[in-house]
Amino acid sequence: MKAEIITIGTEITTGSILNTNSKFLSSKLLELGIEVCYHTSVDDSAERIKEAIDISLKRADIIITTGGLGPTYDDLTKEIISEALGLKLIEDEKMLEIIKDKFSKLNRKMPDNNLKLAKKPENSVFLSNKIGTAPGIFLKADNKIIIMLPGPPSEMEEMFNNEVIPLIPQEQFVIKKSINITDIGESQVEMELRDLINSDPEIYIATFAKGNEVEIKLIGKSHDKISLENKLNHYIKIIEEKFNDYIYGYDNIPIEEIVFNILKEKNYKIGFAESCTGGLISSTLCRIPGASNVFDRGIVSYSIKSKIEELGINSSIIEEFGVVSKETAIEMAKGLLKRNDIDIALSITGLAGPDGGTEEKPVGLVYICISNREKIVPIKCNFSGNRKAIQDKAVKKAFFELRKFLINL
C-alpha cells in the first residue's frame, strides 16, 4: 500500500509554518507498516487542490489530507474530493448538533458558515475532533482510503492517534522498537549495521541522527506474530552487543526523563552549577512535570566573580588552571554540594564560542563534573558545531553522564 500525504494551506507554501503534519503522519504510517511515497503541499487554491487530488488518486492507495476543513470560503478539501470521486455532500444532523453544542458551551453564537462543517461525502464517516471544531472524514472509495484531517497539528495528531489508527486495516502485525544511542557518529553506526540493514525483508532497520544522538529504529512486519517477536528480539540483541556502551535508552524517551526517573526512584535531589550552558541543563530538567521532586536549585555562574561568590571557588584555582578546566569544574561541583539539600551536583564549564578559543583550549572544549559526597567524576569533552550546537550537545552529554553515574551508585 502506497500512501500520499497532501497538506493544504497557503501558510505552508509561503513558508510561514513548518510542515510538521507530513512528518508526523509519515512516521506514524511507517509504524503501521504503510509506505509513504509522496508528500504534496498546495496553497488554498481550488484549482491546485483539485490538481493535487487528481494526481494522488492515480498513484496512491491511501491519501491523507490535512487542512481545508474549516468553515470559511477557502476551506474546500471535502468539496473538491467529493467532486473528484463523484460523491454527493450530505448534511449530518447528529454532527450539526455536536457543532452547535460546541458553540453554545463557549457561549458563542454559531456563525452560519459553520453549517458546512456538518456535511460529509456520502458513505463516509466523521472523525470526531476533541480539540477544535472541524471534524475529520474517513472515506473508502474506488479501492482507496481517503482520510481528511484538520490542519492544526494538535487537532490533527489527536484525531489520527485516536480516530484514524483503529480504522486503518492491519494486514500484518507490526512491531517497532527504537534503540537510542549517543557519543558515536551516525556514519559509524550505519557502517556497523550495514550487513544487518537489508538482511531480512520483514525487518526494516534505519538510523536517524539528531545532534549527537542516533536513533536505531527497527520496524518488523509479518503475518506471524510470534516469529516476528523472536526475530526482532534477535536483532535487538545483536545491536545491543555492538553498541553496548553507547545505548542510553529505548523508544525515544528523552535522556533527561530517564535521569529524572532514576533520581525520583532513588529519592535523590540534584543541583546544577552551569557556566557555558547558561541554565540550559536546569531548564531542560524543569520541562518535566514534577521536576521539583528531584531538582533543588541551579547556579548559573556565568561571570568569574559569580563563580567565586556563588560557589565559593578559590580564585587561585581559576588563575592557575583557567575558567575552562577540570579543576574549576571540580570546584564548582564541590561548592554546590555544600548545600545540604543536594545529594548530587553536576557542574559544567566550557567554551561555547564563537569567540574565545585558543589552540590549547579550542571552542567546543567542555568540562563536566558529577559528584556526590563519596565520588567526584570529571569528564572532558570536545564538541563541534556552532554555539547552539555545542550547548545542546553539552546538555545531552551531561544527562548521559549523569545517567551513567546514577546507575552505578
- Whichever of 305 and 375 has its CB closer to its own copies, that residue is 305
Burial 209-235 (b: 16+ CB within 10 A, else e): eeebbbbbbbbbbbeeeeebeebbeeb
- Whichever of 107 and 408 has its CB closer to its own copies, that residue is 107
Report how far apart, in Å, the C-alpha atoms of 177 and of each of 107, 199, 213, 245, 378 are.
46, 17, 16, 19, 33
Is the separation of the CB atoms in 399 and 257 below 8 Å?
A: no
List the grid coordinates of 116. 458546512
Q: Whole-number minimum distance, CB 198 to its own copies, in Å?
A: 13
- Whichever of 90 and 131 has its CB closer to its own copies, that residue is 131
Q: Whole-number minimum distance, CB 14 to its own copies, in Å?
A: 5
- Whichever of 141 and 219 has its CB closer to its own copies, that residue is 219
β-pairing, 270-274 vs 247-250, is: unpaired
Q: Whole-number minimum distance, CB 18 to its own copies, in Å?
A: 5
Q: Whole-number minimum distance, CB 22 to its own copies, in Å?
A: 7
- In 3-state terms, what secondary structure has residue 132? coil
- Whichever of 181 and 300 has its CB closer to its own copies, that residue is 300
Pick the closest to residue 219 from 178, 172, 186 (CA basis): 178
- Whichever of 166 and 289 has its CB closer to its own copies, that residue is 289
Q: Whole-number minimum distance, CB 265 to its own copies, in Å?
A: 19
At residue 168, what are phi and psi to the nearest 5 degrees? -85, 125
- Whichever of 92 and 157 has its CB closer to its own copies, that residue is 157
- Whichever of 9 and 121 has its CB closer to its own copies, that residue is 9
* N-term to C-term CA, the chain: 50
- Whichever of 12 and 134 has its CB closer to its own copies, that residue is 12
Is the separation of the CB atoms in 347 and 336 below 8 Å?
A: yes
Q: Whole-number minimum distance, CB 271 to its own copies, in Å?
A: 8
Whole-angstrom distance, CA of residue 337 vs CA of residue 354: 31
CB under 8 A, 24+ apart: contacts of 88-94: 88/121, 88/122, 89/119, 89/120, 89/121, 89/122, 90/119, 90/120, 90/121, 90/122, 91/115, 91/118, 91/119, 92/118, 92/119, 92/120, 92/126, 93/118
Q: Whole-number minimum distance, CB 97 to its own copies, in Å?
A: 26
- Whichever of 204 and 248 has its CB closer to its own copies, that residue is 204
Whole-angstrom distance, CA of residue 106 vs CA of residue 120: 24
Angle, CA of 71, 73 and 79, to the nearest 5°: 80
The residues near 142 (Cβ < 8 Å, ≥ 6 apart) are 57, 85
Q: Whole-number minimum distance, CB 387 to its own copies, in Å?
A: 6
β-pairing, 125-127 vs 119-121, is: unpaired
Whole-angstrom distance, CA of residue 6 vs CA of residue 196: 33
Q: Whole-number minimum distance, CB 73 to its own copies, in Å?
A: 13
Pick the closest to residue 261 from 409, 407, 378 (CA basis): 407
- Whichever of 297 and 404 has its CB closer to its own copies, that residue is 297
Q: Whole-number minimum distance, CB 98 to its own copies, in Å?
A: 23
Q: Whole-number minimum distance, CB 43 to its own copies, in Å?
A: 6
